[in-house]
């Protein structure tokens, strides 16, 4: 793991335009999920305890509940002192959402969203291609945690190559760390696909001019 500085500070996300109640739930919710994911990858070091091992290896990844439970577990792993806290909100055009958090993680989220926005068209095409490949190889309904040995070589190669290309386009720099935690190429790929969906949600707010990370 990288051992990046985890010191906390205030970090402003500038907001503009009209926000609905759904927006005020979705944006912070997705942001917090990505924050927890990156925090665990950045700051756990080599000390992989049972909670982290369970979060990355216990889920079957056959539907939305796996992703929900995965990110919920990660949120509880982040120490209370380092969980994002709202410092102030100003709802105007422009306004802001000011958080107290580990700024290094916030900077990583900003970088990933920027990379997503730049590679959006290619990423969207790749995402569709990967899902088509998962269906063709009958990998969508496989219970990840029970298929660590049963995957065929072509399935393993597809998962590894897809994860590598997805990471490259998203500018995700923790593929090795993620592989170490999942110990399963299909698990790694399905987690990365869930990260893609969350980055897509945040990029949508930037594209509409509602948020500027």
Query: Tens of pLDDT along 155-169?
Result: 889 999 999 999 999
Domain count, the chain: 1
Among all chains, which residue has been given the structure tokens 């939305």? Answer: 64
Cα distance between residue 104 and residue 22, in whole Å: 28
Torsional sign, CA 46, 52, 54, 59: negative
Domain containing residue 119: 8-212
Asked, for residue 3, whether it belongs to a domain, the answer is no
Asked, for residue 134, whether it belongs to a domain, the answer is yes
Asked, for residue 112, whether it belongs to a domain, the answer is yes
Average pLDDT of the chain is 89
Asked, for residue 2, whether it belongs to a domain, the answer is no
Query: Tens of pLDDT along 169-196?
Result: 999 999 999 999 998 899 999 999 999 9
pLDDT given at position 15: 96
To the nearest 10 degrees (0 to 180), the angle between helices 175-182 and 185-207 is 130
Comparing 87 with 57, the larger pLDDT belongs to 87
pLDDT given at position 2: 44
> pLDDT confidence of 93, banded at 50, 70, 90?
confident
- Cα separation values, 22 from 1, 106, 165, 204, 213, Å: 35, 22, 32, 14, 19
What is 55-70 written as a DSSP string? HHHS---SSHHHHHHH
Q: What percent of the chain has pLDDT over 70?
A: 89
Of 30, 32, 28, 56, the closest CA to residue 44 belongs to 56
Q: Is the pLDDT of residue 47 over 70?
A: no
Query: Tens of pLDDT along 100-157?
Result: 999 999 999 999 999 999 998 899 999 999 999 998 888 877 766 555 556 778 888 9
- Cα separation values, 4 from 16, 19, 51, Å: 31, 34, 21
């Amino acid at each position: 793991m990288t051992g990046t500085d985890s010191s906390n500070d205030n970090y402003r996300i500038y907001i503009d335009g009209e926000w609905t109640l759904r927006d005020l739930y979705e944006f912070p919710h997705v942001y917090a999920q990505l924050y927890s994911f990156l925090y665990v990858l950045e700051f756990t070091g080599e000390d992989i305890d049972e909670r982290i091992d369970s979060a990355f290896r216990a889920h079957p990844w056959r539907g939305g509940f796996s992703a929900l439970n995965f990110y919920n577990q990660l949120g509880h792993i982040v120490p209370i002192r380092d969980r994002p806290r709202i410092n102030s909100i100003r709802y105007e055009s422009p306004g802001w959402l000011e958080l107290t958090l580990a700024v290094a993680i916030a900077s990583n989220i900003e970088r990933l969203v920027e990379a997503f926005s730049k590679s959006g068209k290619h990423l969207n095409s790749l995402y569709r291609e990967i899902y088509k490949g998962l269906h063709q190889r009958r990998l969508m309904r496989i219970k990840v945690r029970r298929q660590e040995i049963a995957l065929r070589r072509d399935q393993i190669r597809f998962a590894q190559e897809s994860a590598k290309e997805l990471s490259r386009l998203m500018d995700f720099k923790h593929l090795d760390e993620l592989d170490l935690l999942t110990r399963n190429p299909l698990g790694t790929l399905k987690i990365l696909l869930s990260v893609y969906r969350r980055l897509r949600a945040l990029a949508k707010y930037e594209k509409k001019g509602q948020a500027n990370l």
